[in-house]
Amino acid sequence: MEETFRRSSMEGLMVKEETRVESDGEDVGTNNTGKVSGNKRKAHDDDSTWNPPSSDQKNLGTIKQLESAKTKMGEVREENERLKTLLSHILKQYQSLQKDFSNTVQQNQDKKSTLTITSTDQDQIQEAHEFFSLSLGRSSSAFKIEEKYSNIGKLKKNDDLQEGLALGLDCKFEVPNSYQTSKNTSLENRSIVPKEVEIREQWPLSKIIKTMRSEGDEVPEQTHPKKARVSVRARCDAPTMNDGCQWRKYGQKISKGNPCPRAYFRCTVGPTCPVRKQVQRCSEDMSILITTYEGTHNHPLPMSATAMASSTSAAACMLLSGSTSSHPLGTSTTNTCANLHSLNLSFPDNYKSRQIYLPNSSFSSHPTITLDLTAPSSSSSLYTPYQINRFPPTSLNFSSLESSTTPASWSNGYSECGTQSYYKNPMVGGKNKEYIPYMAENNPSPPQQPLSTETIAAATKAITSDPSFRTALEAAISSVVGSGV
């Protein structure tokens, strides 16, 4: 399975690479300025030589065209080489990550050997493996995106582009600097929507959960399925964080124990998008803004919004996947995870890790991942040791990550905040075509019963110790933080 996927994804990569070069050639060819080494191009060249030799000027022009074509061809070849280098780089990283991951899984298994090893664990591990393979499969399209981006000459939206680039790079594949510079090459091509991603059917999580629940006979159907949440704590003076998405406020409440009202927002990018977020100031420190995301988008997202979105969906997957796979519909779970994780983001190197912990809010019935951007950067305080709760807390400390140059806004514990008017965000109004397909929660990944402590713990541990997950979360936060730039 895994191998199959990896292979197929590799083929996809190759095919796309070739396709790209060819199409470039054709583009160039139609302009009569370029030449590419394929047979196709030779045909073009022959065409040009068939011109009646009536005018020397025409011949001269043809020669000049040929020269420039050669030059361009050289450029294309260079780029091709770069891409190949990049590909091998990615593969190397993938392999090392896979090693890491299997190590982690093994450690996990060892630790759990004292406990009863349930089928859930096995499945989980399997899922995780499948995630890797599938995500690489996705990365082929991601790679395509990269390629396309590499052709964008102007770097106006460089930040967003980087996000887009990173978005495609699953499993912490980092873009080599040499490659990044290659974005300076000319040519214009922005149609960057891999169909394979677009096509994916999209299921609201709640629907899925209900479906799953109805399959499981003993569990009574609940009106509010427990959706995983991602909570972000950041210092922010503005009323809300600008995460690149479009939100409509649909409610406000003064919650108990906090004088500051909690605002409820709903994603309005897609008409049926189930994503919600809650924004509330911390009662202890009013400068801290707590933003809680719930659900995953079922529509394409602006570049600036994808990181956060993928993080939430990844979190949802992470927290919900643990108990499902022992059921007949486990395959769907796997898919979900694959989808979600495939959206993992690698990030431009300059992000310092932050605390990420999974208290799984014992106070609410929602499993929650909390990302704390407010603590001093190198703080290593671990949150909440294990407790026996419905959703046992798990803590993570990411400060040990190697990549570390903190953006100024982060190092202060401050994040960029947008204004309330998200719709004013130039990235959102449809002016930009840098939408990347974002599919998530399109497949069932719900628990059919309350998650067992061990399962959740194992799931969170396994996944969060996975570098790609860390990367994804970092990316998400970074996106939120940097989206306003």
Binding site for DNA (CB under 7 A): 222-224, 246-253, 255-257, 262-264, 266, 268, 276, 278, 364-366, 420-423
**End-to-end CA gap in the chain:** 42
Q: Contact between 427 and Zn ion (CB under 5 A)? A: no
CB 341 within 8 A of CB 293: no
**Nearest Cα to Cα of residue 451 among 394, 395, 392:** 392
Q: Which two tokens stand for residue 240?
A: 């809300």
> What are the φ/ψ torsions at residue 57 (nearest 5 degrees)?
-60, -40
Choose between 275 and 329: whose C-beta lies nearer to Zn ion: 275
How far is 167 from 472, CA to CA, in rounded Å?
Answer: 9
Residue 472 interface partner, choices Zn ion, DNA, none, CB cut-off 5-8 Å depending on type: none
* Cβ atoms < 10 Å from Cβ of 273: 21
Candidates 50-58, 159-167, 263-271, 465-473: pick the segment binding Zn ion (CB under 5 A): 263-271
- The answer to whether residue 297 forms part of the interface with Zn ion (CB under 5 A) is yes
- Min dist CB 393 to DNA, Å, is 17
Written as six digits, the tokens of 314 are 């990844």
Minimum CB distance to DNA, residue 473 (Å): 21
Question: Contact at 8 Å (CB) between 384 and 392?
Answer: no
The token pair at 110 is 């060892």
Query: Toward DNA, which CB reaches closer, 250 or 386?
Result: 250
> Which CB, 122 or 421, lies closer to DNA?
421
With a CB cutoff of 8 Å and minimum separation 6, the contacts of 33 are: 65, 68, 69, 72
- Residue 2, classified by CB atoms within 10 Å of its CB into exposed (0-12), middle (13-18) or buried (19+), is middle
The CA distance from 196 to 229, in Å, is: 27
267 or 345, CB closer to Zn ion?
Answer: 267
Q: Closer to DNA at the Cβ: 293 or 469?
A: 293
Place of tokens 């629940």: 213
- Identity of the residue, 261 or 270, whose beta carbon is nearer to Zn ion in the bound complex: 270
273 touching Zn ion, by CB under 5 A = yes
**Euclidean distance between CA atoms 98 and 132, whole angstroms:** 7
Q: Select 214 or 405, whichever has its Cβ closest to DNA.
A: 214
CB of 258 to DNA, least distance (A): 8
Q: Which stretch binds Zn ion (CB under 5 A): 4-12, 92-100, 262-270, 420-428?
A: 262-270
**Shortest distance, position 265 Cβ to DNA, whole Å:** 7
Question: Which partner in Zn ion, DNA, none is near 275 (CB below 5 to 8 A by kind)?
Answer: Zn ion
Q: How far is CA 344 from CA 14, 295, 451, 470, in A?
A: 22, 16, 24, 9
Determine the Cα–Cα distance for residues 484 and 421; give it in Å rounded to an integer.
12
The amino acid occupying position 203 is W
Q: How far is the CB of 268 from DNA (least distance, A)?
A: 5
Residue type, position 482, single letter? G
CB of 1 to Zn ion, least distance (A): 31
Mapped onto helix, strand or coil, the DSSP state of residue 355 is strand
Cβ proximity to DNA, 425 vs 460, nearer residue: 425
- Taking the complex as a whole, how short is the minimal distance between the CB of residue 254 and DNA, in angstroms? 7
Please tell me the distance from the alpha carbon of residue 410 to that of residue 352, in angstroms, as a whole number: 8
The stretch near Zn ion (CB under 5 A) out of 105-113, 147-155, 268-276, 337-345 is 268-276
307 binds Zn ion (CB under 5 A): no
CB of 424 to DNA, least distance (A): 9
Tell me how many residues contact Zn ion (CB under 5 A). 6
Taken as a whole, the chain contains a residue count of 485
| 436 near Zn ion (CB under 5 A) | no
Q: Is 317 a residue that touches Zn ion (CB under 5 A)?
A: no
User: Of the two residues 164 and 484, which places its CB atom closer to DNA in the complex?
Assistant: 484
Query: For residues 46-85, which are near Zn ion according to CB under 5 A?
Result: none
Angle, helices 56-112/2-30, rounded to nearest 10 degrees: 160
Q: Which does 77 bind (CB under 5 to 8 A by kind): DNA, Zn ion, none?
A: none
Shorter beta-carbon distance to DNA: residue 148 or 213:
213
Least separation in angstroms between CB 444 and DNA: 20
Residues binding Zn ion (CB under 5 A):
267, 269-270, 273, 275, 297
